[in-house]
Structure formats: structure tokens, C-alpha cells
Structure 1
């Protein structure tokens, strides 16, 4: 009776905490919208309906029109070759095709532009963005291919359909959520990207907002640009929902899923290997080799400030730990509700939480600057505000992992613990936490590694005198001092490499088990 009577109170408390976190997520939207509306329609329309805004729209649209199909083609094609054909050494290819995630996109742009200044502009921006972002399509598509039941495809073949027809009718429709999800991530990254586009001298809304901030210090015109960027994010999110559809793609019924047989490449084996080799070379080998080249030059010229490098690395690690811990703690209420209380409220909180993934760092930073300057100047350029920005930006990464972790701790175990007289906190610490601990660690690592290489929000919000690896690298590369920038680039790659290993491990494990949720 004690456990059941306290359950509503606990549920209400968790809901209140989840609503508070959702309010923090929505805060940048409210601030930016209020700032933009304060200018009035006449001023806003005069600013927005200008040739400059149309040019930014064309640039942003052109980048998305080229990069999204290119990343889909490379990501889906590579996933198919690795998971469904007799390509040799598939495990090695999985690691190599995820390796671009270990090289921050703006570091890759620095490597290319340092030896090919003629790449500046649209072509260079499209090349770097495509090579940096295709793993976001490859990862979910490959994971889906590893767990799909091959019985439908085999049945289609037994009824006389060709292999191509069977794949198009039974496999491709079930890949749609993974493909649309990957395309959504790529689109949102393109809208939020700053470092690559600024380095390639290709102007979009994100770069224009930073420039407007520099000359106007977070005035209403910068908020208007941010509002347009947010509207583009909403359009992208809406398009993804429509394209994804509501058709069920999971396996229904009991029994053991059938593993589809791998397709022999035959005469296409050599072209497939060459194509994947070219992708890995452009996305990983060339950027890393160029970064190492400049790093060796910095050692030869004795320009590496080892003390400063260690201090900056320590600062980056400190912020990464703070951001990771804060995001995991903030994600607990929403993740708990989603795993224990699937309701309209919990689903709404989930949607609000995931709005963060559509907020470019510059928009979040601009809103927090406006908020602190006007109503809490004592918080301006403080570490607390910077960590809050990290939580807003990267909270979805923690929510997703914690939700799966809580699902690994069945509610029946918690009820059994309470029936034995253990309180709510004791049950959480002794029953739930040990089972969910791997998910907590995964969520922390994902957020911490994202924080370690974050640029735009840190650029605007970092306390005076605070330098991270990303800021130190950006300051040197912005002055075209490629030799001095190289040590910071090498260190960022070294910190990002564990993310690739983590994702590689998750992808490898996805093929060995299919959860009951996926089978129902």
C-alpha cells in the first residue's frame, strides 16, 4: 500500500521535472520569436524582402538539394554493399565508413582549403558536407538491414519476382524510416553548419546570423534571420514526417527471423571496392593525412605550444564532462516517462525535447545572449549559460539512450523491490540504475564528445578568457595559420575517435539481437 500510494506523487514529480526541462528547450524559440516580433511588421518585412535574403535562401537551398541526395546515395549504397552483398571484410568497411564522424566537419574543411584554396565556394562546401554527413545515413540504414527479416523477400522470390523486384517491393519500403531519419539529420546539420561554410566562404543563414551578431550585437535583425532559419527547420521536420509515412515496417508474429542471403557481386566486385575506397579516401584519408602533415610541420618549426595545448584540452574536457553530466541528468525525467508512462503528455514532451535537434547552435546562443543581457546580466558569459546551451543542443542524444536503458529495467522488478519495503530512491539505486548504467554511460559519452568539438554556441557564449580546442583551432585557422592550428585539430580528432568506436560497437551488436519490441 505504501508503494502504490506514493506512486502518483512520484509520477507527478517526474512530470514536473520533465516539463521544466521542456521549458528550457523551448526558451530559445520564445526569446527569438519575441525579439523578432518586437520590430513590427513594416520593419521586419523591409528587412526580409531584400535581395540578400533571397540570396541566402538560394545558397541554403542549393546546398541541401545537392548534399541530401548525395549523402542518401552514398549512405544507402554503402550500407547495401556492406550488409547485403559478399563484399570482403565487411567489418573493416563498417569501421572505415563510420570514421568520418571522428573528424569534425570544420576540421575537414580546414584540411581541404589549406591545400586547395580554389575549392572555396559552393563546390568545396558541398564536397566537405557530403563526405562529413553521409555516415548519418549509412549508420541507421546498415543497422536496419542487419535486423530486417528476409522471409518476405524470399517469399517474393519464390513467387517468381526477380531479385531487384523483390528488393524494391519488400526491402526498400521497410528502410524508409531509416533513410528518412538519416536524411533529416543531414538536413538539420546543413541548416546549422557554420564552420565548414565560413571556411569555404559560402554564405548561408547561419553564417549571416553570426555576421549580423558581430555588427549588431544580437539585435532584432539577427533574430529575424534566426526566425527564418527556424522556419526552414520546421519545414524539414514536416517533410520528414510526410515522407516517412505511417506504414508498419517491423516484423509481426513469432518465430525466428530469417537472415537474407548475401548477393554475389560478381563482375561488380572491383567497381564496388573502388567506389567505397574513393569515399573513404575523400572523407577520411585525405583530411587526416593533411592534418597530420601540418602537425608534423608544426613540430618541425617548433611552434607547438604544448602548455597551451594541454590547458585548452583540459578546458574542453572539463566542459565536455559538465555538459555530458548535465544533459544526462536533464534527460532522466523525460526518458523515464517515455519508458514507463506512454501517454499524450509524455509523447508531447518527447516532441518538444527533440526540437533541440533542430536548433542550430547559433540560434540557441543568440537567444541565451539576449536573455542574459536583458534580464540576468550577472549570468552573461558564464559557464552555467554555456552548459545550458549544451544541454539544449544535445539533450536528444541522452534521452534516446536513457530511454533504452530504462526499458532494460522491467517495471516488475521495481514493483517487487517496493513490495519488499525498499523506497523509491533505494529501488532506483539498487535495481534500475545497475541495469540502465550502460545507457547512462553511452548517453554521457555521446553528449561529451559533441560538446568537445562544438563551435558556434561556444564562440558566442564562452566566458572571457575561456578557450576550447574548437575555439583555439578556429582562431588560428581563421588567420590562415594552418601550422599553428594543426595541433588543436589533431587533439579534436583524438577526442572524437571514441565516438566512432562506440557507434561501431552498437552497429555490430544490432545484428546479433532483435528486441521483442521490433518483432511486435
Structure 2
């Protein structure tokens, strides 16, 4: 009997035949989620419709098309580069005979813990004729050019998004049937041919899943292109919003959503093409790749990645702490620890609210195989795929027009965090719930426990790790969210990310040292969660 069949049997026994009351409750929950997610986004249509025929003119405007082309080009370059970096690193840390593979695994995954806009901030500060790198290399007559524009944004985004491809490809390689590769080798296939014909079809869905995350991140990223002086869709929308061109900003937001939809459709098409996959019944674990004397030169790639993505920014942050002089110490912009508390406060609220909403959704989707439960589990991912700047613009417009009392309030900001990041909690709790043995719940029910008592005594203790993981992920991603925080925070309510934003705009790099270090430290906890999940898997 499959897991879903066991889940369906369990629910039927717990709720009674048909479970009509419970089904109605979940239907209401699903409908509430659809409304909560789509009404603010639908408000963009209302604002854009106010432009009338000008909407078509603005859509085909040369400036709009140029920004669209630049955004698509950035997404394409970053996604392709991330695949070129992430897949070889996954192969090295899973298959290759390099020393200390576990160490390199952790090291090359860590850039995911650094917000890309902090990496951009550090790169800008370090480069240029008067930057620390040029000063250090001056005796050699070397000047490091300023890192900015399209090339700078693409390089920085690649450094901090390739771990998505690395982690998903690594997971696919770890589940690969080694006997298939060995069989190909016995049929006189060389290493490259065996990789092309056997390994690549098996890991392609994992590569595509990671590439999807990279593409969505690159398309939605706000801070990195802004710091690099590269105008893409997110900056274009923000500038139009600040210029009180609400209809134009709404129109651009809808276009950005359309590009997001195209990316999702492309990944779905690639992921659904499993014609090259095999039903594996053999040994799990990728075949060993003996590099011989090349195992030491092969470590150059992870070393270079670690130096540019980790050592350089952390070194720059440390320099900001100790260096004085113009551009680093300004009395008019000083850091307060209250900004850190504000970040923690709203992120904790978002984590708690996300768990409360995610728990019934995850429980239902993990135990019942029905269209309703599937819909309830998938609807939240609309918010997850929506760029933060688009969601923020939609909520600003909706609150001003429909519920003015919510405009620029903590509840609206927390709601934005929940809409954006709650699916992380759903996924984590759902995974834990699917591992609960239904016989334990049935035993509790036969001993006279009510449905609620059985859940509290049996299910809840077993899924607590998933709940904690989901809450931690929502907390950590909320701490790093920039565009939604900028647009939705109450007046005078500064957080770590908004202070860093102000410091960058003012060129006061030294003032951003402490919040940058705090964000990196807190964000590093997310990687601890991910790696702990891998170890426990």
C-alpha cells in the first residue's frame, strides 16, 4: 500500500466516512488562501487597467523593452553560469576522489548563506582604483577595475546562487544507481560517454530544479542590480513607484510576473521530460571517479569560489569595522541595535504565522491524495514565485485603495513575509508528516484517544523537527528580505537590511559593517539547517 493510500485510510478512520466537515474546513482554508494571495496581485490589474490604451504604448516603449531584454539577459547569463559552476562542484564533492570532500561540500554550499546584496556591497567597496584590492596589489602595478554594471551583477549573482544548482544536483547524484554507470563502462563507454548517456539524464531534473531557483532569484533580486547600477525590472518598478507612477509600476509588475510564469513553465517542461530516466533497483550512490594526480588541481575550483564568495566579503566587512577615514565614519548615520531587534521581531512574527497557516495545509496534503489537498498545497507557491518587489507594490496599492488602516503597518509587512516564505514551512512539515507511521495513530485511537488527543500525543512530537525547521527557514529568509521591507515597513521602523540600504546609498560603507556581520551570521544558520536535513535524510 502506498504512502498516500495509507494516509487516506488514516484520515478516513480519524474523520469518519467521507470526512465532510474536515473537507469543508480545508476547502474554506484553500479558498481563503486563494483570496489572500490573488486579491492583492489582482489589484495590479485594476491599477494597470487605469492606464487605458496607454498600457499598450508603455508596454512597447523602447525603454520598457530595453529593461525587459536586460533582465532576461541577466537571468540567462546567471542561470547558465550557475549551472557551469554548480554541476562540476557537485560532481567533485560526490564522485571525484579529492581529499576532504565533506569539507569542500560545506564550504562551497556556504555562499548561499550570504545575501547577494551584501556580496555586491563588498565587491563595490573592494574594487576600483582606490579600493583595498588595488591598494594591496599596488606594489605589483595591478589595479582592480570597479565591479559594476551588467558584468558585475552577473558575477556576484552567480557566486551567491550557484549553490542552488550545486545542492539539487548533489542530491540527484547521491541517489544515482552506481550499477547503471558501471554497466555502461563495461559496454566500452568512456567516462564522458557514460556521463552523457547515463548520469546526465538521471541528474537533469535536479539540475533543472536548481536552475529554476537561480532564475527566479536573479529575476526577482532587487539589491544586487541596484548596488551595481544596473537597471533591470525590479529597479525600474521601484523608481516608477517612487515617482508616484502607480499604474506604470503595476503594469511593469504584471510583465515581471509573466516572465516568472515563462520560467516556471520552462522548468516544468524540462522536469517532466524523464524519458532518459531509469527505474533504479541497484546500489544508491554515484560511481567513484578516480582523478589520480588531477585530484589536487581539481581543488582549484572550490578554492577560487570560496575565496571570492566568502573570504573576500568577510574580509571587507572586517576592514569596515577597523578602518577609519572619509567615507567610513559618519556621525549622521549611526547603527542602533534596535534595528536588529526590529528584524528579529517581525521575522519571529512571520515564522509563527507561517507555521500556523502551513501546519493544516501540510498535514492534509501529506495524508490525503485528493485534488483539494493538492490545490491547497500548491496555491502558496504562487506567493513564493512572486518577486518581492511585485508583491510589495501590490500590497501598497491594495492597502491604500481598499484598507488604508493597513498601509505601512507591521501586520501588512508580516503578511508579505508569510505570503513569500510560508511554502518553506509547508514543505518541511509535509516531509516530516509523511514519515509518521499511521499505525501509531490508529493504536492511539483504539485506546480511546480522540482525534485531537491522538494528534497531540503521537503526531505532533514526531513532526516537531519539521515544524522547527520550517519556522527557522521562514525566520531567516524574512531577516534578509529587502524590497518588501523597504516598501511596507512603518515609517521610522528600520531593520538590518534597511540600514544597510541607507548606508550603501550614502556611501558610508563602514557603518554597514556590524549589520552585515549580523546578517551573515544569522543567515549561516540556514545552511546549518539544510546540511542537518541532508545528514538526517
Interval containing the TM-score (normalised by the shorter chain)? over 0.9
User: How far did residue 10 of structure 1 move?
Assistant: 2.2
User: How far did residue 157 of structure 1 move?
Assistant: 2.0
1:34 is aligned to 2:46: yes
User: How far did residue 424 of structure 1 move?
Assistant: 2.2
Counterpart selection for 1:58 from 43, 51, 69: 69
1:137-148 superposed matches below 5 A: 137-148=165-176
On the 8 A contact 1:102/1:500 being kept in 2, the answer is: yes
Deviations 1:272-309 (A, max 9, x none): 11122111111111111111111222699887999953
1:516 is aligned to: none
The separation in 2 between residues aligned to 1:304 and 1:410, in whole angstroms, is 60
User: How far did residue 164 of structure 1 move?
Assistant: 2.3
The separation in 1 between residues aligned to 2:407 and 2:85, in whole angstroms, is 43
On the 8 A contact 1:298/1:304 being kept in 2, the answer is: no
Deviations 1:24-47 (A, max 9, x none): 22233212123212322x110111
Most deviating of 325-334 and 128-137: 325-334
1:292-441 superposed matches below 5 A: 292-297=318-323, 308-441=335-468
Counterpart selection for 1:15 from 8, 22, 27: 27
On the 8 A contact 1:385/1:461 being kept in 2, the answer is: yes
On the 8 A contact 2:396/2:407 being kept in 1, the answer is: yes
User: How far did residue 5 of structure 1 move?
Assistant: 5.2
On the 8 A contact 1:139/1:507 being kept in 2, the answer is: no
The separation in 2 between residues aligned to 1:298 and 1:334, in whole angstroms, is 52
1:99 is aligned to 2:99: no
Deviations 1:219-260 (A, max 9, x none): 111000001100000000111111222427877476x63434
> Aligned in 2, Cα 1:460/1:163: closer, same or farther, shift over 3 Å?
same
Q: Aligned pair count?
A: 507
1:259 is aligned to: 285
RMSD: 2.3
2:216 is aligned to: 188
2:309 is aligned to: 283
1:161 is aligned to 2:189: yes
The separation in 2 between residues aligned to 1:334 and 1:2, in whole angstroms, is 17
Most deviating of 429-438 and 500-509: 500-509
The separation in 2 between residues aligned to 1:269 and 1:478, in whole angstroms, is 45
The separation in 2 between residues aligned to 1:26 and 1:327, in whole angstroms, is 18
TM-score (norm 2): 0.89
Deviations 1:199-220 (A, max 9, x none): 0000011101110110116x11
The separation in 2 between residues aligned to 1:509 and 1:409, in whole angstroms, is 15
Segments of 5+ residues of structure 2 without an aligned counterpart are 1-12, 129-145
User: How far did residue 147 of structure 1 move?
Assistant: 2.1
The separation in 2 between residues aligned to 1:3 and 1:31, in whole angstroms, is 38
1:236-251 superposed matches below 5 A: 236-247=263-274
The separation in 2 between residues aligned to 1:345 and 1:424, in whole angstroms, is 21
The separation in 2 between residues aligned to 1:248 and 1:351, in whole angstroms, is 25
1:222 is aligned to: 249
